[in-house]
Amino acid sequence: MNENPIIVALDLPRGQALDVAESLRGRVSWLKVGMTLYYAEGPKIVETLHEMGFRVFVDLKLHDIPHQASGAAAAIARLGAGMLTVHASGGAAMMVAAVKSARAAAAEEGLAPPAVLAVTVLTSADDATLRAVGVDRGAAAQVALLGALARDAGVDGVVCSPHEAQAMRLLFGPQGYVVTPGVRPARAAIGDQSRVATPTAAVAAGASHLVIGRPVTAATDPAAALDLIVAELNGAAS
């Protein structure tokens, strides 16, 4: 795991995203580009963040037929993304295709292959949300099922809430990626996420990386907000 496990989610318009990125130089290695920013700015935003010295997690949650997911994963890999996501609920064949094409595309470009991560159950969802879409299992059981499916498909790790991090760490072993959104400092509002935990609790449960967005990006001073979270993690580790 990186010395600093935090990935800051830049779910912002381009100008604001780049201002936040500039303020975080030297404080964090990873930035996440999700749908909000990528769909507005396209692949160029990934290149720009690379030029600023960041590693980039391209979080588009691919979910389509295997042919489409394969092509999209290859395109993301060619950008030099360090991580990309597919929905585990897309099925084993789709995940296998995405992993294979991402690795092949990276090799063709002379790049390190991205970590392909399977999204299990979104942190905004709870048991009631799953029941409403026809899933009879609770969130924890659904994450367990999808995590095992993803592992067998050869992905590098999963995206899950901190509540399932321990189970996913056991499933994927010490080298697997367990990336947890839904991370909120104790002082922060929860917002639209249901299954949340503090940064310290998420790491203790087995998370390799913590995705943190609004507690940093919506702060008056994003760098200071990030420093407080890092200090909290360092204090827990000492």
Q: Is residue 174 packed enough to be buried (19+ CB in 10 Å), middle (13-18) or exposed (0-12)?
A: exposed
> Pick the catalytic residue: 32, 44, 61, 100?
61
Read off φ and ψ for residue 126, nearest 5 degrees.
-130, -175
pLDDT score of 57:
98
pLDDT in tens, the chain (238 residues): 346 899 999 999 999 999 999 999 999 999 999 999 999 999 999 999 999 999 999 999 999 999 999 999 999 999 999 999 999 999 999 999 999 999 999 999 999 999 999 999 999 999 999 999 999 999 999 999 999 999 999 999 999 999 999 999 999 999 999 999 988 776 654 455 555 688 999 999 999 999 999 999 999 999 999 999 999 898 765 5
Instruction: Write down the pLDDT at residue 196.
Output: 66
Which residue is it, tokens 């967005």? 213
Give the ranges where the chain is alpha helix by DSSP (H).
14-23, 35-41, 44-51, 66-78, 92-108, 127-132, 139-153, 165-172, 199-205, 214-217, 222-237
Spatial distance between the Cα atoms of 85 and 60, rounded to a whole number of angstroms: 6
pLDDT for the residue numbered 234: 85
Q: What's the pLDDT score for residue 183?
A: 87
- What's the CATH architecture for 6-237? Alpha-Beta Barrel (3.20)
Establish whether 44 is a catalytic residue: no
* Domain parsing of the chain, residue ranges: 6-237
Task: Specify the pTM.
Answer: 0.93
